[in-house]
């Protein structure tokens, strides 16, 4: 298992290296970063020349790339193009906020989907099964911002009707969030609606995978063997069936983590959260390539890390994979 983990970890290094190259290349060909500055009336040609010099923009592409990529470990992602502020502290802040949202949504989606999928499969063609598959089809079809707006609407209507604010519909924290546990509870309270709206799509998708793989496993020979041993039905389901059925579901969940990250961009905008999505859109408007490249690199690393975690869980669940 240790060897397997180490091998997986080593494979991610070239993946990230390649990702940085593609990111740099793709952002660079979108245009001259100085163009925006040239149009600005209060910036002189000297200042522009100085920026070009200091950023190495007069150098060939590969030199620029090498400079940028080798500076990442020592200087974070450097400063913004115009203002001499470092990018990394901003990125760190929004990344923390987004990860709270996305991880909470992923965990919620996974737990709920496993339960729904398992029960659906155990009671195939029951009312519960039909209801779940129909509702999940709906959840799969509707965009997440629609659910976000509907949830906001419901909460607002409840407030109008009863005067109770069940959940905040915007921001990450109250004006005065407090510290310690009070801060954490306040944050969780604020994240309820965003997490639910973000998780609905994933619940719908994962539960269908879980149901399908559970149905396959329930009718397998080894589940029959388990039954012939005289095990309880609950134990047959959890110990023999679910463990096998989780393997394909985990793959899907890990691969969809990127989708969840992009879903977060929309959700953060709807709920006005200070996360990576909002940050990205803001920087895109400023035409500053450096925070964009930094952002893309961070997302690439996050996705690689989650794939790594999925691989490890996969290896834990399926002994046949560990030793290949």
Partner 1 sequence: MTEPLLSIRDLVTEFDTPDGVVSAVNGVSYDVFPGETVGVVGESGSGKSVTVMTVLGLISQPPGRIAGGEILLEGRDLLRSSAKEMRKVRGDEIAMIFQDPMTSLNPVLTIGDQLSEALLVHNGMSDSEARKRVIELLELVGVPNAEQRYDQYPHEYSGGMRQRAMIAMAIANQPKVLIADEPTTALDVTIQAQVLEVLESAKRETDAGTILITHDLGLIAEMADRVVVMYGGKVVEMGTVEEIFHAPRHPYTLGLLSSLPRLDVDLERLEPIVGSPPSLINLPPGCAFHPRCSLARGRERCRREVPDLVGVGDGHVSACHYTDEMAEEIRRVERETGAAFGAGGVA
Task: Note the residues at the interface with partner 1 (CB under 8 A).
Answer: 220-222, 224-232, 239-240, 243-244, 247, 317-320
The pair of structure tokens assigned to 305 is 């890390």
Q: Nearest approach, Cβ of 177 to partner 1 (angstroms)?
A: 44
Q: Nearest approach, Cβ of 5 to partner 1 (angstroms)?
A: 18
Quote the CA–CA distance of 86 and 72 in Å, as a whole number. Answer: 12
Judged by beta carbon, residue 38 or residue 243, the one nearer partner 1 is 243
Quote the CA–CA distance of 50 and 54 in Å, as a whole number. Answer: 6
Cα 312 off chain centre by: 18
Q: Nearest approach, Cβ of 248 to partner 1 (angstroms)?
A: 13
What is the DSSP track for 192-216? HHHHHHHHHHHHHHHHHHHHHHHHH
Judged by beta carbon, residue 125 or residue 160, the one nearer partner 1 is 125
Quote the CA–CA distance of 299 and 304 in Å, as a whole number. Answer: 9
Q: Nearest approach, Cβ of 318 to partner 1 (angstroms)?
A: 6
- Note whether 299 and 305 are within 8 A (CB): no
The most distant pair of C-alpha atoms in the chain lies apart, rounded to whole Å, by: 84
Judged by beta carbon, residue 103 or residue 223, the one nearer partner 1 is 223
Judged by beta carbon, residue 128 or residue 159, the one nearer partner 1 is 128
Q: What are phi and psi of 166, to 5 degrees?
A: -70, -55
Q: Nearest approach, Cβ of 117 to partner 1 (angstroms)?
A: 18
Judged by beta carbon, residue 14 or residue 234, the one nearer partner 1 is 234
């Amino acid at each position: 298992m240790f060897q397997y983990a180490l091998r997986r970890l080593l494979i991610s290094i070239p993946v990230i290296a390649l990702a940085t190259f593609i990111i740099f290349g793709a952002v660079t060909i979108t245009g001259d970063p100085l163009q925006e500055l040239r149009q600005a009336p209060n910036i002189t040609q000297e200042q522009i020349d100085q920026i070009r010099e200091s950023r190495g923009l007069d150098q060939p592409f590969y030199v620029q790339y090498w400079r940028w990529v080798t500076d990442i470990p020592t200087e974070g992602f450097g400063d913004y193009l115009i203002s001499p502020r470092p990018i990394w502290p901003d990125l760190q802040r929004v990344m923390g906020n987004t990860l709270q949202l996305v991880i909470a949504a992923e965990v919620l989606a996974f737990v709920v989907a496993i339960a729904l999928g398992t029960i659906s499969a155990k009671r195939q063609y029951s009312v519960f099964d039909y209801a779940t598959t129909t509702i999940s089809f709906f959840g799969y079809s509707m965009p997440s911002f629609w659910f976000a707006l509907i949830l906001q609407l419901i909460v607002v209507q409840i407030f109008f009707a009863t005067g109770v604010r069940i959940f905040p519909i915007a921001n990450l924290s109250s004006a005065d969030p407090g510290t310690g546990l009070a801060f954490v509870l306040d944050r969780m309270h604020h994240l309820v609606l965003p997490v639910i709206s973000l998780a609905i799509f994933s619940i719908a998708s994962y539960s269908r995978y879980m149901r399908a793989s559970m149905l396959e496993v329930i009718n397998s020979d080894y589940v029959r063997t388990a039954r012939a041993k005289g095990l309880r039905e609950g134990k047959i389901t959890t110990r023999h069936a679910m463990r096998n059925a989780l393997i394909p579901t985990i793959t899907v969940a890990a691969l969809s983590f990127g989708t969840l990250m992009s879903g977060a961009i929309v959700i953060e905008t709807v709920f006005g959260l200070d996360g990576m999505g909002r940050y990205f859109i803001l920087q895109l408007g400023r035409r500053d390539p450096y925070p964009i490249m930094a952002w893309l690199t961070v997302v690439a690393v996050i996705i690689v890390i989650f794939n790594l975690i999925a691989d490890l869980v996969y290896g834990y669940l399926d002994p046949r994979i560990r030793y290949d």
